[in-house]
Each structure stands twice: as structure tokens, then as C-alpha cells.
């Protein structure tokens, strides 16, 4: 049977749910009520009664609420899931009250319900609530993918397009997807906690800017109507945070969304989240310490350990991270002693992919680092490091360039490159140079890709598995 709702054809599965919805309404039941008070979460009950023996009953009445994931034997057994976990509900078809006999068959898998009853453990060892009352809290009109769990049964949906476009379905039926986002939330929380505990201050800087600076990347362009003015979405938070350091915020950071108008891949999403940290009166080597400690802290809090498995490869965060200069590394791998852009190219081509374990690569050529301070000893180099994990750049840091005259010249060099056809070269930021003229203390700065770090800590192959709603093409 195919009928219609708001102009769209619907399947017989949806029609069946609509029929049940109407039957419920005819019974005087509001399928979308306003609130519900529960006494316990499922996981709390599982823990509280973990010592309850098989076949043992209690007189403890509890109230739970959640989504119906499965039912067996004409709603005799119901698997109910809430944010914490699951519990089984029981209602004997032979002895249940008439209203339940009429009401329960009008439910569907996926419906949100509340239930009240006494706790017991079945002969098979399943903690169960004997239903006394059931309340419909939200009727589902869409059929859900398979959500029955079992050893030989595949779970949920595997179609990645559906998973990304309709993440709510993915989250309902695929426990791993929910776990990834939970872990990401812990990761972000622990970064904040680690920095806040050391008196770093989080400050939000503009996303809309008249110029997109602080990185080499193509920006997104938008428009402000009232001002009739073109604006760019930020490609980095760097230049604003350093202005804050000029203003006296000696320890400052921002966790925020960055937008880069570039390709999409397994490790690139057009919008992604970075953290940038600026720490006055310190240099690159202090920042290396801070970064290593931050990563170890977060890894421990998220995974409960320091040795993790990523895509079948063990990654060990427990030992001191390797530290090697770009020149030494390139020489080690290729036997060549290079400088400048050639050094960086050789590094990217031959070395990056080999850096599986956490590795700080430092001392970068000045040509590719227009915001980093010149190396105190080595001509042609800057004080910069990048942290590589699983062959991927995960963090990037400098002894920040604080000399306004040098900074102006570096910007001018970038402008020349832009004129020469490099549309990703940095743009001139006169006000930033002016800020430096007011005095930026010696400062180290570090940026870290939250999404890529989250991939590592959730064992996700794709960046899209740690972004709730990744960028997708419009349909039709």
C-alpha cells in the first residue's frame, strides 16, 4: 500500500506507522507529550542490581524512558535504550491489563516510551522491569534500519552516504558512531581542562574577516548586506590571538571552526576545528613540552591508556616523542643535505609517511614559514616544529615572529609570491604589523587539528567519522 503525506509517496511501512498513530489518537493518547520524569537511567539500574540473582524479584519500582530497539513475542519483551545503555521490559501477553493489550501492539521499533514497574532478574539472567505502566513519548513515523543486536547479525546501516546525510539514523543504530562523537567531546573538554588548569584563557576571535590571513589556504567568500562588503571566513585564528598576546593575554587559546576552500578527502573537511595556543615568554622548545604533555593528557583521558591501536598499527604515546630536525631526517632517508623549499619538498615526499610514532620535526626553511621567528643559530631556517602521528601532520608550532620589520618583509615576500601566481600565499595584514610595533613579548604558538587527533583516538579511518555532519553535496 502506498499513500501520500505532505506530497511525498510513502512506503507501506510508513503507512502502517501512520495507521498506528491514528489508532493511538483515537484512544485519546497524545503521541507527542510534553515531559516525563524518570527515576533511573538504564546503566544505573544495571549497575545497582548487578548482584541480583537469576529469578530473584524485588519490590523496587523504577521509571525509565528511552527508545524501543527491539520487541519479541508480541511485545512480551522490549529492549529499551537510553543515553546510558539498555534494559529489558517485560509484559506477559496472557496477564497484562486490557489497556496494555490494546496499546502495546500500536508501538513500533524506534518509538520513544516511558515505563514504570518492578525490577527482577529473569531465569536467563536478564535484568528486567515488569511493566505496570507504559507512556508513549514520541511516535516514530519512519522505519528504522535493523537494530537488533546479536552475534551473527549485522548491525545498523553500512551505507556511508545515509550515515553522513542522516546522522540521526546512524546514531540510533550504530553504537560506534555515537562513541566516536562522545570521545571527541571528551577530547575537546580535556584540552580545555588541561589549558585552563595552567591559566590559559580561551577567547573567541572573528570568523568573518575582511582578509583571510594566518595560513596559506584559499578562503570561502561571503557578503555582508548592510555594509555591502565582501567578507572571508577565517582560515586560521593565529593573527587575532597574537594581537591578544600584544594586548597582554600571556596565555591565550581558541578552539574554533576554520574554513578552507579546498578539496575533500578522507582527512580533509572544508570546515574543521583547530586549537591554537599562544604562550608569552616561552620559545619553541617550551611549546614542544606543552604539546607533548597536552597530547598525553588527552590520550589518557579519552582512551584510558597511552598505547593505542590506529587502523591496525600500534601508536605509543607513553614514551618521550622523538625529536628530529627536518634536515637530519631528510639526510637520514635520502642521504641528501638540502635547504629551502627543496628540503621541504624532499621531506614531504620521502619522510612524512614514515613518521608513524609521534615525532616532532623541527627547524623549517624560512621560505615556507612567514610567521615564524628566524632560527637563533641556523641561517635560512625558522624556529618551527610540526608533530607527526601516523604520517600525518597533527600539530604545527613556532617561536612566533615578534619583529615587526621582519614580519612586514615576510608579508611583502608572500605578496610577491601571490603576484607570481600562488593564490594560497599569505596576504598582507598591515594592522597585524602595527600590533607587533606595539610589542609582542617572546611568544611560542601552536596549532592542532582537533579532527585529526580525534581520528587517531577513535580509530576512525575517515575524518567524517568524527564530524557529526560532514560537508556533502546538495541532492537533486
Binding to RNA (CB under 7 A) within 110-139 occurs at 122-126, 128
Binding mask 425-454 for RNA (x = CB under 7 A): ------------------------x-xx--
Nearer to RNA, 251 or 321 (CB): 321
Q: Sign of dihedral through CA atoms 25, 28, 34, 35?
A: negative
Q: Is 109 in the site for RNA (CB under 7 A)?
A: yes
Tell me how far, at minimum, the Cβ of 187 lies from RNA, in Å: 15
Question: What 3-state class would DSSP assign to 289?
Answer: helix
Q: Is 50 in the site for RNA (CB under 7 A)?
A: no
Contact 77, 126 (CB under 8 A): no
Nearer to RNA, 280 or 467 (CB): 467
Nearer to RNA, 1 or 342 (CB): 1
Binding mask 393-412 for RNA (x = CB under 7 A): x--x----------------
C-alpha cell at 301: 583521558
Q: Is 144 in the site for RNA (CB under 7 A)?
A: yes
393-432 core/surface letters (b: 16 or more CB in 10 A; e: else)? bbbbbbbbbbebeebbebbeebeebeeeeeeebbebbeeb
Applying CB under 7 A, among 200, 272, 317, 347 the residue interacting with RNA is 272
Chain center to CA of 238: 21
Applying CB under 7 A, among 27, 201, 208, 266 the residue interacting with RNA is 266
Nearer to RNA, 111 or 292 (CB): 111
Nearer to RNA, 251 or 363 (CB): 363
Question: What 3-state class would DSSP assign to 119?
Answer: strand
Applying CB under 7 A, among 71, 209, 327, 460 the residue interacting with RNA is 71
Q: How many CB atoms within 10 Å of residue 367?
A: 18
Tell me how far, at minimum, the Cβ of 17 lies from RNA, in Å: 8
Tell me how far, at minimum, the Cβ of 403 lies from RNA, in Å: 23
Question: What 3-state class would DSSP assign to 65?
Answer: strand
Backbone angles phi, psi at 21, to 5 degrees: -55, -45
Q: Is 105 in the site for RNA (CB under 7 A)?
A: yes
Q: Where are the beta strands (DSSP E) in 271-348?
A: 271-280, 307-310, 313-316, 322-325
Looking only at residues 319 through 338 of this chain, which bind RNA when binding is defined by CB under 7 A?
A: none
Q: Is 361 in the site for RNA (CB under 7 A)?
A: no
Nearer to RNA, 246 or 315 (CB): 315
Tell me how far, at minimum, the Cβ of 235 lies from RNA, in Å: 9
Least Cα distance to 141 among 11, 37, 238 occurs for: 11
Backbone angles phi, psi at 193, to 5 degrees: -60, -45
For residue 94, give every residue at least 6 positions away whose Cβ sits within 8 Å of its Cβ, in sequence order, or none: none
| Element housing 169 (H / E) | helix 167-173
Size of the site for RNA (CB under 7 A): 76
Tell me how far, at minimum, the Cβ of 475 lies from RNA, in Å: 5
Question: What 3-state class would DSSP assign to 304?
Answer: coil
Q: Is 6 in the site for RNA (CB under 7 A)?
A: no
Looking only at residues 199 through 238 of this chain, which bind RNA when binding is defined by CB under 7 A?
A: 215-217
Tell me how far, at minimum, the Cβ of 104 lies from RNA, in Å: 11
State the residue for C-alpha cell 518492578.
Answer: 118
Applying CB under 7 A, among 86, 251, 384, 464 the residue interacting with RNA is 464
Q: Is 458 in the site for RNA (CB under 7 A)?
A: no
Nearer to RNA, 82 or 246 (CB): 82
Q: Where are the beta strands (DSSP E) in 211-306?
A: 221-224, 229-233, 251-259, 271-280
Nearer to RNA, 250 or 271 (CB): 271
Looking only at residues 147 through 166 of this chain, which bind RNA when binding is defined by CB under 7 A?
A: 148-154, 156-162, 164
Question: What 3-state class would DSSP assign to 80?
Answer: strand
Residue 404 to residues 96, 213, 291: CA-CA distances in angstroms?
Answer: 81, 16, 27
For residue 422, give every residue at least 6 positions away whose Cβ sits within 8 Å of its Cβ, in sequence order, or none: none
Tell me how far, at minimum, the Cβ of 193 lies from RNA, in Å: 23
For residue 258, give every residue at least 6 positions away whose Cβ sits within 8 Å of its Cβ, in sequence order, or none: 234, 235, 236, 237, 271, 272, 273, 274
Looking only at residues 244 through 263 of this chain, which bind RNA when binding is defined by CB under 7 A?
A: 260, 262-263
Amino acid at each position: 500500500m502506498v499513500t501520500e503525506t505532505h506530497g511525498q509517496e510513502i512506503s507501506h511501512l510508513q503507512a502502517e506507522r501512520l495507521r498506528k498513530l491514528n489508532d493511538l489518537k483515537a484512544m485519546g493518547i497524545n503521541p507527542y507529550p510534553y515531559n516525563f520524569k524518570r527515576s533511573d537511567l538504564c546503566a544505573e539500574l544495571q549497575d545497582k542490581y548487578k548482584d541480583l540473582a537469576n529469578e530473584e524479584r524485588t519490590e523496587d519500582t523504577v521509571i525509565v524512558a528511552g527508545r524501543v530497539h527491539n520487541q519479541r513475542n508480541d511485545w512480551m519483551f522490549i529492549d529499551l535504550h537510553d543515553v546510558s545503555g539498555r534494559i529489558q521490559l517485560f509484559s506477559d501477553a496472557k496477564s497484562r491489563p486490557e489497556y496494555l493489550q490494546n496499546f502495546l501492539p500500536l508501538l513500533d521499533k524506534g518509538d520513544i516510551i516511558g515505563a514504570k514497574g518492578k525490577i527482577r532478574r529473569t531465569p536467563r539472567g536478564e535484568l528486567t522491569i515488569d511493566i505496570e505502566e507504559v507512556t508513549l513519548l514520541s511516535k516514530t513515523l519512519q522505519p528504522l534500519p535493523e537494530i537488533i543486536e546479536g552475534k551473527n547479525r549485522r548491525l545498523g546501516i553500512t551505507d556511508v552516504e545515509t550515515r553522513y546525510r542522516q546522522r540521526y539514523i546512524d546514531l540510533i543504530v550504530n553504537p560506534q558512531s555515537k562513541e566516536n562523537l562522545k570521545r571527541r567531546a571528551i577530547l575537546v573538554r580535556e584540552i580545555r581542562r588541561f589549558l585552563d588548569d595552567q591559566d590559559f584563557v580561551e577567547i573567541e576571535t572573528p570568523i568573518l574577516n575582511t582578509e583571510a590571513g594566518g595560513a596559506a589556504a584559499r578562503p570561502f567568500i561571503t557578503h555582508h548586506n548592510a555594509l555591502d562588503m565582501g567578507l572571508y571566513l577565517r582560515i586560521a585564528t593565529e593573527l587575532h590571538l597574537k594581537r591578544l598576546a600584544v594586548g597582554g593575554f600571556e596565555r591565550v587559546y581558541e578552539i574554533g571552526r576554520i574554513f578552507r576552500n579546498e578539496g575533500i578527502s578522507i582527512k580533509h573537511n572544508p570546515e574543521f576545528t583547530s586549537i591554537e595556543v599562544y604562550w608569552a615568554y616561552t620559545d619553541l622548545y617550551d611549546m614542544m613540552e606543552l604539546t607533548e604533555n597536552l597530547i598525553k593528557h588527552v590520550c589518557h583521558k579519552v582512551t584510558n591508556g597511552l598505547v593505542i591501536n590506529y587502523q591496525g598499527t600500534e601508536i605509543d604515546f607513553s614514551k618521550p616523542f622523538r625529536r628530529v630536525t627536518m634536515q637530519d631526517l631528510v639526510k637520514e632517508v635520502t642521504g641528501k643535505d638540502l635547504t629551502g623549499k627543496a628540503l621541504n619538498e624532499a621531506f614531504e615526499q620521502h619522510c612524512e609517511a614514515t613518521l608513524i610514532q609521534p615525532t616532532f620535526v623541527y627547524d623549517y626553511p624560512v621560505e615556507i614559514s612567514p610567521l615564524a621567528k628566524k632560527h637563533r643559530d641556523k641561517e635560512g631556517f625558522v624556529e618551527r616544529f610540526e608533530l607527526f602521528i601516523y604520517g600525518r601532520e597533527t600539530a604545527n608550532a613556532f617561536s612566533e615572529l615578534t619583529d615587526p620589520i621582519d614580519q612586514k618583509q615576510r608579508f611583502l615576500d608572500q605578496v610577491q609570491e601571490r603576484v607570481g601566481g600562488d593564490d594560497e600565499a599569505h596576504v598582507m595584514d598591515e594592522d597585524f604589523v602595527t600590533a607587533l610595533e606595539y610589542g609582542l613579548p617572546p611568544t611560542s604558538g601552536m596549532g592542532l587539528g582537533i579532527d585529526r587527533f580525534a581520528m587517531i583516538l577513535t580509530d576512525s579511518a575517515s575524518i567524517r567519522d568524527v564530524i557529526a555532519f560532514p560537508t556533502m553535496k546538495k541532492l537533486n
